[in-house]
Amino acid sequence: MHYRTLGRTGIKVSPYALGAMMFGAVGNDDQAESIRIIHKALDAGINFVDTADIYSHGESEVIVGEALKGRREHVVLATKSHLPMGDDPNQRGNSRRWIITAVEDSLRRLQTDYIDVFQMHRPDPDTDIEETLSALTDLIRSGKVRAIGSSTTPASEIVEAQWVAERRGFERFRTEQPPYSILNRGIEREVLPVVQKYGLGALVWSPLAQGQLTGRAPSELRRTARYSHMTDERRLEVVEQLIPVADAAGLKLTHLAMAFAIAHPAVTSAIIGPRTMEHLDDALAGAGVVLDDDVLDQIDKIVPPGTDVGRLDMDYDTPAVLTATLRRRPAADRSAA
């Protein structure tokens, strides 16, 4: 396995990261099999494991912790917090109050003394970024966290966090975890250039577009859809155009999609999220695939650089989009007269 440097941290990680979202009740509820999947990934050379407190409400972290017994020192372990972990309104978000608690909870579930990369799962409009970075800085100085990162964050907020860290003398985000696939290339326009400018490692999620780029026929995708974007006809039409490109290159669509994701110079690792051993075996079988310029040019013609074909249901919407009062003048002020 060829390893890459995670931003400017000096940490070496595999170009495929093992995502643990499917380990636990939400995906594979057989903990023993999930542990075997993790062990096989590590044996294959993957040294980066990414999980989150919200995955199966902590069960994923418990499974990862069990799997890493005796192997922890050889693994770069990442987890995240932000999403609700209970009914209490303070059991979520990016406040100091919750971050400190969330890290302690994750350390306990993971059965470890430190987290290599601790990430904010989403931005938090209700919390000053200074509050978040201050808490994360204290965790790094205490030795409980080695590096910090963000996830699914707009380019402007990535820049703001870097500036605040410099002005206040806080630790800065070293990684960003955005969605990226052939179907979702919007981050090529601003996020990935910003990541490169500030020396962040990009750990991209959903390189298979949450199952749409696995080679299954559009009719099957419609029948088994779990998310609304899975039945987006624009996305399904693009999938149909990509299948012959993969066939002509002698590749499975899964391998074409993964190779595309790690071909971008700003991308450090692409996160695979196997639910079964078969899924992992398929991903590993394509680990050596490198796309030539002709194939990449064909992909560019189907999905132009910097564009998204629809949106993932799990993507992040800013308050300016979600809140009507932030994008509409009061009725009395709308007149041009």
Q: Could you list the active site residues?
A: 55
238 membership: H or E segment, kind and range: helix 233-248
Distances (CA, A) of 179 to 10, 87, 153, 254, 287: 24, 28, 10, 16, 20
Contact 55, 23 (CB under 8 A): yes
Q: Give, in order, the Cα–Cα distances in Å from 202 to each of 2, 150, 153, 156, 264.
A: 17, 10, 12, 16, 10
Answer yes or no: are the C-beta atoms of 254 and 208 closer than 8 Å: yes
Quote the DSSP letter at residue 308. Answer: B
Burial class for 244, CB neighbours closer than 10 Å (0-12, 13-18, 19+): exposed
